[in-house]
Amino acid sequence: MNYKEAYTHWLESPALSAEEKAELTAIQGDEKEIESRFFSQLEFGTAGLRGTMGVGLYRMNVHVIRHATQAFAEVILAEGPEAAARGVAVCYDCRNNSALFAREAACVMAGNGIPVRLFESLRPTPELSFAIREYHCIAGINITASHNPKVYNGYKVYWEDGAQLPPKHADEVSAKMQVLDVFNCVKTADYDKAVAEGAITIMGEETDEKFLAKALEQVNDKAAVEAVADTFKMVYTPFHGTGHKLIPEALRRLGMKHVICVPEQMVIDGNFPTVVSPNPENPEGFYLAVDIAKREGADFILGSDPDADRVGLMVKGKDGEYKVLTGNQTGVLLLDYLIGAKNRTGKMPKNPVALKSLVSTEMARKVAEENGLACYDTFTGFKFLAQKKDQLEESGEGNVIMSFEESYGYMLGSFVRDKDAVTAAVAMTEMAAWYYGKGMTLADALDALYEKYGTYQEKTMNLVMPGLDGLKKMAKLMVDLRNDPPKTVGGTAVTQWKDYKDGSVVDVATGAKSTMELSGSNVLRYELADGSSVIVRPSGTEPKVKVYIMTNGESKDVCAEKVARYAAWAEGLKN
């Protein structure tokens, strides 16, 4: 049906509440708004669903949640009765409607005869990944929109390994959503009855304890923290989200005596009243933490995003001001620290490996290889990092000590298969304490790494293209770049065109073609004559095209000049 028919179908459905019908009635006659809500379903991908909340087919609401869960339940049931009997774990974050959406998802799974383990209250995303593995569930559902603005919510799905849903199963769910009626297909159970009968089991502190124990097993040098605990201070903020409980507790168990939490941001609130965006990538969100850090003389600031899977740092410079570290800088610092700590304490495994996404800094490869580690790239997304980790370790080719993405995601250990701010917060605090014991801040440590390995600088640009027109512009941009790839970027010659859709590599000078290991993703990469790389890919969760600029050179000024030129070229892609 077209968007007008879909609008009428919803407006006339008895499944809608009076309030929901009023919301749809209020847009009668507004063709653009009706089209934006009903032109299509939200696309179900390997990351599930994500969108703005509201009534409509292209919005996040209880009906879309039930519809997606019914489709997911049918995919699980197709795996057979033994698989379905293993059940599904369900988790949710601090966002408006997250608790409601999680309960609705649990009731649909129970209504399909699939047992559910539902967290009693909001929990970090990595704890869901852990719970799936710990309780041998067949799958998991997480209601979260991560660091998106408050108007968003999302529905993330996981498979039995604790990683996000493989493409095969995601395609199956998507196909079922295309044929199942959004209202009439749903089988659901009464929540209280399902709990009373054991179809829905509530998880709480017992799972927290198991998860924290695993996180603390990743500590390499607790003595480094204990040696400075009396004077070493840090500030922590959960940005109103799910890290509020477990991260301070994990740091206390690490041996920290002075973890100063930002009181206003310890309040759980899906409206995120103290920040424009609850994203640790944005320096402006840390203003309350900076005030406290200056007043208390803290060494560094740590912030986790609302679902506590990503973590960002601010570090004190020589001028006493606090500066945000990029995800790349933090990743390189942590990798170098872990190599040193594991070597010092005898915990380095045989055939050690570092993993990163292909859009993350090449400095990580330099750090790894100069210290005898292999370093592999994967596509963006921790499901790909998790797959590579499993492949390497199951084959005996390598043991992964750390996986990371430039977007502030880090995975340590083998008990989760997703980025994990809780465990990363422990590792980063241990690292900061170790440097503090040597009279160094993390800013000093980063400068030392640049001296040792060379200077690198990266920039991630978001070319925002909102609305239905934006989706069309994003698709056209990628088509145009494939049809007419650039021979220069910002005045520098392009030496290679790499297309990760088909795995092709073209030598620009000769036209010679070859292939690379990675293929199957809508990503373009340009290798430049000065050793820089520029990568272009549409976001899978937001209406924007992302451009990643990666440079290196003999100084920060040289790198900054390159970044500025390539960023100006990227800006021109919006036109």
Give catalytic residue positions.
146
Token code pair at residue 218? 């990743």
Separation CA 375–CA 365 (nearest Å): 6
Taking a C-beta distance cutoff of 8 angstroms, is the pair 438, 262 a contact? no
| DSSP secondary structure letter of residue 349 | P
Q: Strands 513-515 and 533-538: what pairing?
A: unpaired
Q: Strands 139-143 and 88-92: what pairing?
A: parallel
**C-beta neighbour count of 394 within 10 angstroms:** 8
Taking a C-beta distance cutoff of 8 angstroms, is the pair 338, 156 a contact? no
Taking a C-beta distance cutoff of 8 angstroms, is the pair 256, 429 a contact? yes
**C-beta neighbour count of 222 within 10 angstroms:** 16
Taking a C-beta distance cutoff of 8 angstroms, is the pair 159, 169 a contact? yes
Strand order in the sheet with 409-411: 374-378, 352-357, 399-405, 409-411
Instruction: Tell me the β-bridge partners of 527.
Output: 496, 533
Instruction: Tell me the β-bridge partners of 237.
Output: 303
Separation CA 282–CA 99 (nearest Å): 27
Residue in the structure block whose two tokens are 């900054």:
560
Separation CA 300–CA 317 (nearest Å): 10
Token code pair at residue 64? 């879309």
Taking a C-beta distance cutoff of 8 angstroms, is the pair 512, 506 a contact? yes
CA 161 to chain centroid? 17
Residues with Cβ within 8 Å of 226's Cβ and at least 6 positions away in sequence, in order, are 255
